[in-house]
Amino acid sequence: MAQKKIALACSECGSRNYTIAANPARQERLEVKKFCKYCNKHTLHRETR
Ligand SMILES: [Zn+2]
């Protein structure tokens, strides 16, 4: 099973704060609420490509 490293970027400041391993075959774009240390709060993080 191929897994791909995907970076999650804060939707507010654009910082890539997290990397996760996800299946590249999935269709939907990942959106996760995570803590951004630059915004100093929880923001929506989206996968980058
Ligand atoms: Zn941020």
CATH code, domain with 25 = 2.20.28.120
Let me know: does 7 contact 47? Beta carbons within 8 Å: yes
pLDDT at 1 over 80: no
Cα(38) to centroid(ligand 1), Å = 5
How far from the centroid of its chain's Cα atoms is residue 16's Cα? 7
Q: What is the pLDDT of residue 37?
A: 97
Distance CA 7, CA 23 (A): 13
Contacts of 7 (CB under 8 A, 6+ apart): 16, 18, 19, 47, 48
Domain span at 12: 4-47
Tell me how far the alpha carbon of residue 1 lies from the centroid of ligand 1, in angstroms.
32
- How close is the Cα of 26 to the center of ligand 1, in Å? 25
pLDDT for residue 45: 97
Contacts of 28 by beta carbon, 8 Å cutoff, 6+ apart: none
Summary mean pLDDT of the chain: 90
Q: pLDDT of 15-33, one tens digit each?
A: 999 999 888 777 888 899 9
Q: How many domains does the chain have?
A: 1
